[in-house]
């Protein structure tokens, strides 16, 4: 990980240091590009080096800057090492976006293979807990630390065959709400955001017969993350539907 000072240019996130997981594609990549365009220095975390390099090229082409951190989030000790490296090189973290997730298999609960359940649990829940564990001290060192975790509307009802994904997202929601309650008297604000149906690979895997052209793009959804990352954000411990949030922001923001 190469240290690069956060930019001092214009933008709603100018000078902020923002870490995004699952940044190699889909919503994560779109959020990383949008944050960089808003002036943040992006720490992009994902497994795929080639896709991270493409992201870096896109960010640089737009005049932004990024630090690439290629590793698997289930390498939990690597999360701790990353937190130490961020402290040594930047001394704080302004924004954490916990976006990386796995769908697993859509099947009856009793048919889910143990290795699939354990892998999805590791990425969707345990990795986010390890991120909080390692990065909370850095968020507290920011004047306005912001933690944003991506959830799903699937937690709002009992959908057959969605057991492993829905259960892990529900666990994430409870974890984040408790974390939010614990940091209520600090500069940190923590929230959950549900992107809703979005034109991503995960969505295509879950709904192979769906026409992706009927869905919003990740770039459109990424706009919803910016207000939650700003120092002026007062929301805390909330579950936010991206489409409704964008409509409410559209009245006052461009």
Return contacts of 50-54, CB within 8 angstroms, 24+ apart: 51/24, 51/25, 52/23, 52/24
For residue 171, how many other CB atoms are within 10 A of its CB? 17
179 part of the active site? no
The one catalytic residue among 90, 149, 165, 245: 165
Cα–Cα dist 63/104, whole Å: 37
Angle between helical axes of 114-121 and 163-182 (0-180°, round to 10) = 30
Q: Are 133 and 81 in contact (CB under 8 A)?
A: no
The contacts of residue 81 (CB under 8 Å, 6+ apart) are none
In angstroms, rounded to a whole number, what is the distance separating the alpha carbons of residues 155 and 221? 19
Distance CA 80, CA 84 (A): 6
Q: Which residues are marked as active site?
A: 165
């Amino acid at each position: 990980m190469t240290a690069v000072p956060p930019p001092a240019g214009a933008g709603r996130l100018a000078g902020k240091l923002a870490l995004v997981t699952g940044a190699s594609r889909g919503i994560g990549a779109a959020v990383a590009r949008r944050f960089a365009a808003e002036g943040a220095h992006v720490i992009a975390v994902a497994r795929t080096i080639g896709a991270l390099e493409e992201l870096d090229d896109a960010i640089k082409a737009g005049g932004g800057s990024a630090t690439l951190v290629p590793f698997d989030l289930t390498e939990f000790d690597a999360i701790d090492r990353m937190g130490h490296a961020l402290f040594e090189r930047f001394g704080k973290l302004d924004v954490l976006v916990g976006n990386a997730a796995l769908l697993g298999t859509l099947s009856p609960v009793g048919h889910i293979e143990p290795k699939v359940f354990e892998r999805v649990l590791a990425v969707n829940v345990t990795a986010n807990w390890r991120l909080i564990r390692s990065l909370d001290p850095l968020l507290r060192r920011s004047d306005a630390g912001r933690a944003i975790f991506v959830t799903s509307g699937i937690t709002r009802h009992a959908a057959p065959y969605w057991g492993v994904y829905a259960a892990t997202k529900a666990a994430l929601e409870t974890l984040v709400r408790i974390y939010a309650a614990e940091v209520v008297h600090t500069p940190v604000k923590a929230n959950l955001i549900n992107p809703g149906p979005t034109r991503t690979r995960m969505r295509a895997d879950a709904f192979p017969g769906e026409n992706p052209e009927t869905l919003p793009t990740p770039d459109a959804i990424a706009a919803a993350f910016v207000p939650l990352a700003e120092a002026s954000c007062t929301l805390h411990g909330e579950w936010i539907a991206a489409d409704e949030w964008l409509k409410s922001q559209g009245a006052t923001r461009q």
